[in-house]
Amino acid sequence: MRVFQPTYLHRKTGKRRHVSRWWVEVKDPHAALLYLSGFRDKARTQALGYNIERLIACRVSGAPVDPTLQRFVESLELPTMRKIRAKLVERDILGTNSLPLHRHLLAYLRHLQGKGNTAQHCRDTLARCSRVLRGLEATTWEGISVDGVRAFLQSLRKDSRKPISTTTANHHVRAVKMLSRWMYQQGRTSGDRLLACTMFKMLPDEKPRCERRALSVDEARVLLAATTRSDIRRGGMAGPERALLYRLAIETGLRVGELTSLTTASFDLEAFPATVRVEQGRTKNRKGALLNLSPATTELIRQHLCNKAPSTRAFAMPAGRHTAVMLRRDLEDVGISYRDAQGRKIDFHALRHTRGVWLGQYTDARPAEIRELMRVSSLALVDRYTRSLRVTREYADACPSLDVPAQAEELRASTD
């Protein structure tokens, strides 16, 4: 390394003068000379040249970057140092792998937001990636490996205090694999470092933490009839509005977020059959959805929306997870257990689960047709709703009716 002040010929005086900045001369990994403009202070320029020499040595030997040198690499992100960083990247002294991980994560967050992902998805993905990277104690992407990721997540699965489930572990695997693939596609790395990282399998003694069960036909009828007659407001919703919301969730299989997004204009009640539309960006797969409504449900929705403006929310649903609490209280009122003897529960998403199970029980729909009706991505997800899809009834319209006009007294007696 050599630190020097170049000279130039002054046009007016004809004398040679030194430039104001000191320069550094080093040899890059290919033994070619590299000249970098340093600082006005010679000592600072010497320190710059010393750190660059150490960085070149690490690059040639493949040795990891120590914390002191890592702080120098991070300082190259400052506006006053970006020209130096560009030169180092150009000469293959500093690769994008050596960038601080938080710089990659911020860029990845902007990528996710630019794709139109929801704020919740962006937060969850970034939190899972950050958790894995912190657990590996890596400062740059060069410290990430398949074995390291799996070993860290396996340690969380076997944590004696608060172990994570296999599903949670696989959520983390998907998040970091997406990050690794994005970095490779963006040219930030020379390869996808986590391409071979596979999902975890269930432990022998592990049970699913969130196992739902479907409502039976009688349970659904009792719930809707009793909730319609209820004078209690829950979650800011009156009894008849809650009953209509439950009915729509069972009949269409719409998710909580999709139901929340519905407005008066989402319903076309003049069509035959009447339909409800969920806009793109509001569904889970961001493709939108158009679902048919039964005549009975159509009439109830017509009465419910008759005095509402087109842009008004169709249902005044509570925020967050309060919909599950609301449903749980209504189930308790009619004597339906929130959790059965097998540990399966009935939360709000179980209403969608009920739709999928009924399609398998009461129709002759094939698995591919159930996948389309339930708007899921694979047949493996269809298997969650029912294990036996060979049935003997007619198609989707053969699902049991939720109307109980002739049985009102019997239902009231069964709930007393």
* pLDDT tens-digit readout, 91-116: 878 765 566 788 789 889 999 999 88
| Residue 328 within any structural domain of the chain | yes
Q: What confidence tens digit (pLDDT) does each residue in 56-67 have?
A: 888 888 777 777
Q: Do 337 and 399 fall into the same domain?
A: yes
pLDDT greater at residue 215 or residue 208: 215
Residue 27 sits in the same domain as residue 69? yes
Q: Are 105 and 144 in contact (CB under 8 A)?
A: no
pLDDT of residue 37: 92
| In a domain? residue 276 | yes
According to the model, what pLDDT value does residue 179 have?
Answer: 95
Q: What is the CATH number of the domain that holds 397?
A: 1.10.443.10
In a domain, 273, yes or no: yes
Number of domains in the chain: 3
**Residue 369 resides in a domain:** yes
| 195 occurs within a structural domain | no
Phi, psi angles (nearest 5°) of residue 23: -120, 160
Q: Looking at the structure, do residues 166 and 234 belong to the same domain, yes or no?
A: no
pLDDT tier, 392 (very low <50, low <70, confident <90, very high otherwise)? very low
* 129 shares its domain with 158: yes
Looking at residues 145-171, what average pLDDT do you find?
91
Secondary structure letter of residue 365 according to DSSP: -
- Assess contact for 175 and 128: CB atoms under 8 A: yes
What residues have CB less than 8 Å from 75, skipping those under 6 apart? 81
Tell me whether residue 174 is in a domain. Answer: yes
The DSSP symbol for 201 reads: P
- Are the beta carbons of 406 and 398 closer than 8 angstroms? no
Residues 352 and 231 in one domain: yes
17 backbone φψ class: left, alpha, beta (φ>0; ψ -120 to 50): beta
Same domain membership, residue 47 and residue 22: yes
Lowest-pLDDT choice from 205-209, 340-344, 396-400: 396-400
Q: Determine which of 8-17, 69-78, 384-393 has the lowest per-residue pLDDT on average.
A: 384-393
The answer to the question of residue 197 being in a domain is: no
User: Which among 161, 104, 185, 173 is positioned nearest to 135, based on CA atoms?
Assistant: 173
Q: Which one is predicted more confidently, 354 or 414? A: 354
Are 286 and 351 within one domain?
yes
What is the arithmetic mean of pLDDT over 273-293?
A: 89
Where does the pLDDT of residue 415 fall: very low under 50, low under 70, confident under 90, or very high at 90 and above? very low
Residues 280, 402, single domain; the answer is yes
At residue 414, the pLDDT reads: 45
298 and 165, same structural domain?
Answer: no
Over residues 141-168, mean pLDDT: 89
Give residue 80's pLDDT. Answer: 80
Residue 177's pLDDT is what?
Answer: 96
pLDDT band at 386 (very low <50, low <70, confident <90, very high): low
The mean pLDDT value of the chain amounts to 85
* pLDDT at residue 369 tops 90: no
pLDDT of 395 = 41
Q: Which of 94, 128, 148 is the last residue of a domain?
A: 94
Share above pLDDT 90 across residues of the chain, in percent, rounded to a whole number: 49
- Closest to 81 (Cα-Cα) out of 30, 108, 44: 44
Please give the residue range of the domain that contains residue 409. 217-415
Residues 271 and 295 in one domain: yes
Cis status of the peptide bond prior to 100, with omega within 30 of 0: no
Q: What is the pLDDT of residues 297-323, one digit of tens each?
A: 999 999 999 999 999 999 999 887 789
Task: Dig out the tokens for 374 from the structure.
Answer: 């339930």
What are the start-end ranges of the E strands in 137-256? none
User: What's the pLDDT at 96?
Assistant: 58
Going by pLDDT thresholds of 50, 70 and 90, the confidence category of residue 2 is very high
CB under 8 Å to 313, separation ≥6 — which residues?
A: 260, 262, 263
Q: Which helix (H) or strand (E) holds 267?
A: strand 267-268
Confidence band, pLDDT 50/70/90 cuts, at residue 141: confident
For residue 202, what pLDDT is reported? 81
Asked if residue 339 and residue 260 are part of one domain, the reply reads yes
Query: What is the average pLDDT across 235-251?
Result: 94
pLDDT value at residue 116: 81
Q: Are 382 and 374 in contact (CB under 8 A)?
A: yes
In a domain, 355, yes or no: yes
Boundary of a domain, candidates 74, 94, 114: 94
Confidence of residue 389 (pLDDT cuts 50, 70, 90): very low
Give 244: exposed, middle or buried? Use CB within 10 Å, 0-12, 13-18, 19+: buried
The CATH number covering residue 152 comes to 1.10.150.130
286 and 373 belong to one structural domain? yes
pLDDT at 391: 36
Mean pLDDT of 85-91: 81
User: Among 161, 185, 209, where does a domain finish?
Assistant: 185
Distance between CA atoms of 227 and 232, rounded to whole angstroms? Answer: 9
